Each structure stands twice: as structure tokens, then as C-alpha cells.
Amino acid sequence: MAKIWDKGFDANQQVEAFTVGNDRELDLRLAKHDILGSMAHIKMLVKIGLLEEEEEAALRTELQNILSEVEKGNFRLDDDAEDIHSQIEAMLTERLGDVGKKIHSGRSRNDQVLVDIKLFLKEEICQIKEEVLRLFDLLQSLSEKHKDTLLPGYTHAQIAMPSSFGLWFGAYAETLVDDMQTLAAAWKVADQNPLGSAAGYGSSFPLDREMTTSELGFATMSYNVVAAQMGRGKTERILAQSMANIAFTLNKLATDNCMYLSGNYGFISYPEELTTGSSIMPHKKNPDVWELIRAHSNRLQSLPNEITVMTTNMPHGYHRDYQLLKEVLFPAIETLHTVLKMSCFMLERISVNRDILSDPRYEYLFTVEEVNKRVLRGIPFREAYQQVGKEVQQGSFHAEKKVHHSHPGSIGNLCTEEIREKMESASLAIQQKKG
């Protein structure tokens, strides 16, 4: 198959293998989006007089046929195809003759891959949104279910003050709201049409970019054609940062689970089939799933830096360096899908210890409660603090292991519905328009 940029000489095979890299395999993920971009493009070409209606109809029929092959999993790149764009154009030319060669008028592979990636990332962001919402709903449900079960709170890894499973689960739910806000920001950046920017300097054809923007379901376009090309790398980096934010939340959730499951805590448990044993210690129940979620989340948190370093020190315009972005971002997206799903899978099967505070080691968990109780009786705070401190030192401190927290966001007032409203508002910003 001749390259679409062929000028009559062959590239050195070693150079070609190096420059193509893994692009062919990664491009398969963009096949659907490349076809959708082409459908919008040829419809626009009819409007500006570069295609006849019957030519567009023939092209659309074959593009639909290729899309069907993609959806059925039957689409493959030929051995001599450089990328997804050349493969589809070659298939159209083989099936339709010279009509297939007209499809590339008014665009470059630069804006073609840009629109493919934007459409792909929008679809992936929608999927991440749904997975985050599923985890959010589960955490809120667990928060309400266990809102009356007290849990020791720690600062500096030392026993501090009373908490609850309601607070613990609910905290991660609300933290996901912040993550959704940054995911929505990534969506807004991705939701701009670059098609028509060509190689980054526009076209002498009278392209109707408003039309392709509407056809492809973008909220707006990247108006300046140079800015559209400068979005390559920046869009990926912004999404990577939002993914890293979610990973930060998952990492901390995983670490808590590993700690709470350990014998020194014993706050939670999981069915034996969800933990692993030791080759020599028959009592072990290792939290391998959570440990791997933690490790994957750490890797995801390195993604923004990797993309930033990869795209540093380049002037504006396209550079082949950008090709490597797919190699780090696409697998990372798959990893995020997996760890979100596995987090839900595990939490759906969690059991909590309802009798944690009967252990005498948590006696001092209620010192602040006792200080506050005395303040409510009229004793100045500093004096009440000193009184309780002396009792602790003398070993005479004893407290009622109950809490009376009622302010918003506390043990007795989780504000579950208010947090849900925040999440609904954040997630509404991510809405796929019909193209």
C-alpha cells in the first residue's frame, strides 16, 4: 500500500519501523472516531462544492460498512498500512476508485488525528464519569448504612478523636466530587473541534468549520488554527491531571483498606476469596487487590509529569514527538477503568467491625469529648483541658464512649444529600451532545 504522503521513494525500513512504533496497534482504538470524523468532513465537502452528493453517498455507505467491521471486531490494519488514516482511505479507494481519493481534500493527517483523539477522549471521559459516579453512589450508601458505627480517628498515626464509618466512607464520596470537577475541566478542553485546522495553518478551501463542529457534537471549535494544533499534548496533559486526581483518591482509599484490614487494626474484613495467603504462614489474609490498586494509582499519578516532560521544549506546530502520547495515555486510561471497577468490586463486599471501641486502647479517644463536655458546664476551655490532661497522666481518666456531634459534616450530620447535589452539579458539565 502506498503511503498517503508518498513522493516516489521508499523510506528505509529501519527508519520506518522506528517512526511508526506502536502507532498501528494504538490506532485501532481510534478507528471508530476516524470514521465519524470522515463522515462529518465529507458532508461539509458537499456543502462547499468539493464533492458531489452521489459521491458523498457512496463514501458514506462504505464508511458505514467499515464502521460495522470495527464494531464487530473484524477491522484490521493491513501489514503495509502506516496508520488508521491511510488504511481507511486505501479501503475507500479500493472499493470506490478515484472517489475514495477525494476524501482528504481540505484536511491534513494533523487535524485528522487531532479530531480522532478529541472524540476518543470525550468518549473515555464519559465512561470514567460513570465509573466515578458508581463508586460515589456506593460510598454514600455505605456511609449511610454504617453512620452509627464509631471508628477511631488518627492524626500523626496516633489515636486522636472519634470518627465513624459514616464519616470515612462519606469523606471519599465527597473527595470524588473534587475529582469530578477536574474531570469536567478536562472534558471542556477536549470538547473543542480542531477539524479544519489542517496542518496547523488552515486551508485555502472555504471550509465550513461550524458545520463539522455541529456534526461531531462538539460544544465549540478551537478557532485559531495554530491554537488547535497547540492543543495536542495540552489536552492529554489536562486529562492526565484529572486522572491523577482520581488516582490520588483511590490510592488513599486503598492504603486505608490495607491498614484497617491488618491484625493491628482489625477494623474491616473481606471474604477469604478476595484476599491471598502466604506460602509459609497459614494465618495470612493479604490485601493484594488493594495493594495493586494502590500501586496502579501511584503510576497514574506520574502520568501528568511524563506527558509534560514529553511535550516540553517544542515550538508551536506539529512534531512527531506527539505520537508517543498515545503510548502512555491510552494504557493509563484502561488502568483507571480497571482500578475504579475493582474498587467498587471490593467495597461491595466489605464488612465493618461494629465493636472496635470496646478495646481499652481507645479509652483516650474521648479526651476532647470530655473537655468539651466540661466547657459546656461552664469551665473555661484551657482549665478543662488541663484537668483532663492530669487525669490522663495519672491513669484515672474514664469517659463515656459516646459522641454528640451535630454540626454540618460531622458524625451526627453527614450532609449526604448536600454532597450528592454537589456531585450532580459537577457531573452535569460532562454531557455528550448528539452529533
CA distance 285 to 272: 7
Quick one: cell of 261? 484490614
* C-alpha 259, offset from chain centre: 25
Quick one: cell of 47? 456543502
Reported as type and span, the H/E element at residue 387 is helix 381-394
CA distance 82 to 327: 16
Task: Tell me which of 41, 105, 269, 278 is the catalytic residue.
Answer: 278
CA distance 395 to 392: 5
List Cβ<8 Å contacts ≥24 apart for 269-273: 269/350, 269/351, 269/353, 270/346, 270/349, 270/350, 270/351, 271/349
Quick one: cell of 32? 471508530
The answer to whether 193 and 218 are in contact (CB under 8 A) is: yes
Beta-carbon count within 10 A of 116 CB: 26
The answer to whether 304 and 240 are in contact (CB under 8 A) is: yes
Closest CA to 67 of 19, 111, 35, 96: 35
Reported as type and span, the H/E element at residue 160 is strand 158-164
Catalytic, 41? Answer no
Is 410 strand, coil or helix? strand
* C-alpha 133, offset from chain centre: 12
CA distance 137 to 186: 22
Task: Tell me which of 68, 108, 156, 343 is the catalytic residue.
Answer: 156
DSSP secondary structure letter of residue 232: T
* C-alpha 196, offset from chain centre: 28
CA distance 32 to 44: 19
DSSP secondary structure letter of residue 413: B
The answer to whether 429 and 188 are in contact (CB under 8 A) is: yes
Catalytic, 358? Answer no
CA distances from 355 to 1, 139, 259 (A): 71, 21, 17
Residues with a known catalytic role: 156, 278
